[in-house]
Structure formats: structure tokens, C-alpha cells
Amino acid sequence: MLIDTHAHLDLAEFDRDRSAVLDRARANGIDSIINIGFDLASSRRSVAFAARFPQIYAAVGIHPHDAAKADEAAWAAIPKLAAAPKVVAIGEIGLDYYRDLSPRPVQQAAFRRQIRMARELNLPVIVHNRDAHADTLRILREEKAGDTGGVLHCFSGSWEVARECLALGFHISLAGPVTFTNAPKLQDVARKVPLERLLVETDCPYLAPAPHRGKRNEPAHVRLVAEKIAALRGMPLAALAAATTANARRLFRF
């Protein structure tokens, strides 16, 4: 059994066939799915989905893309949503210097605020980091994010960056890009991350793994991610699945 630790099943891309998507996930051995909020509306949807579907858990938070749009009402609502049953993390939060859809100081302030929130609520954090490795690591250190722990989701950095994240007590989650032929650095990370710190995800509907690259992603495809990592590490899929599932249950406490 596998756990997709990062999905966005509440998005419109799944409105047409969401039940079939969940059926395919179950048929491919996906035991549980964590649906991730990125703003107030999606966080509310994630909580509602977790209440509706037994296999879905929720995370709530403000993504760096949406940091500039978050008002005080949103900031007041997120910790209340976090108290709902089956909310297992604050996320996704972090920094994105690739698109820069929010000013960097605003992104950083939102990131710090949510790490503090997670520490107060004793919840792990789900961190988005794109082209912002130095500042992400610095803020995680300064805000003592290791106290609650968490995961660098859809990890895209080098082994050197991964090693620093691991030193802070964080997990590394790999998604579809690890299956791409042009991802040797990411595949090196997949070989080297300690098994007890490794998670798998889809980030669906984005970043579908090979051979579905460029199409809509879905939780069933996390099996392809796990198969690739198992092959890179020279271990049976069943062993990798057992380890990553145990890691997810331990980190997110469900």
C-alpha cells in the first residue's frame, strides 16, 4: 500500500470524474491521500473532502503564490480549519522565486507566520520551495521548524540541499519528475535519501510521471513514482511502499 502525500483533488480538473479517480487510486494500492490547501478556499475544500472521503486527509495553508492576497480574515480562519478532524499539517507553505506571484518579502512573512502557527498547533509543515533554497533553509532554521518537522514536497534541489533539509529533521518527498530522463540530480537524491525520511507524492493534477508526462496527473500514478525510486535504489517495490507509508503515518500521525 502507498500514500499519496500531496494531491489537489479539489481542483476543477477532477470535477468530471473524481469518484473514478479515487477508485483507480484504490485499485493501484493507494491507501490514503493528503489533499493540500493553498489558499483559504482550497483549505476549506480540503477539510470538506477529508470529512466526505474516508481515505482523504487534509492540510491547510497559504501558498507563496497566494500570500499577497491573504487578508486578516484568511489568517484568522486557517488555524480554526486546522482544528478540524483529519487535518494533519499546515501546508502548503514556503517560497517560490520562480514565478514570484507575491513579492518576496510578503512570501517570507507568510512563511514565517505559518511556521509559527504550526509550532503552536503542534502540526508538521508541508513546504513548497522553488528556486529559493537558501532563503527556505534560513527561515526553517530561524523559525525552528524542526520542532514540529515536516516535508520538502516535490523536492527539486540537489543532494547538497537535500542533506541540509535532512539535517533540520525534515523529510524529502519525490514526485513525477524523478521518473523523467532529464533528471539525473533528482535521481541521485532518490538513491541517497535515508529510507526512513522518504515520502512519495503526485502533486496532482500537475507533474504526471512518465509515461504520462504532460497529461493530467492523479493519485494512482504515485505507484509509478514509487516503482522508479525502488528501481533506482535496487529494492523491491513492496519494501519501498512499506517504508514510505510508515514514514507518512509517523510524520502526519494518522
Residue 5 confidence (pLDDT): 98
Number of structural domains (the chain) is 1
Indicate the average pLDDT of the chain. Answer: 97
User: What number is the average pLDDT over the span 61-74?
Assistant: 97
Q: Are 92 and 37 in contact (CB under 8 A)?
A: yes
User: What number is the average pLDDT over the span 104-131?
Assistant: 98
Mark 15-35 as b/e (b = at least 16 C-beta within 10 Å): eeebeebbeebeebbbebbbb
Distance CA 25, CA 20 (A): 9
Query: Where in the sequence is the domain holding 182, given as residue range(s)?
Result: 2-252
Model confidence at 56, in pLDDT bands (50, 70, 90)? very high
**How many residues does the structure list for the chain?**
254
Any idea what the CATH number is for the domain that residue 110 is in?
3.20.20.140
User: What number is the average pLDDT over the span 104-113?
Assistant: 98
Residue 110 confidence (pLDDT): 98
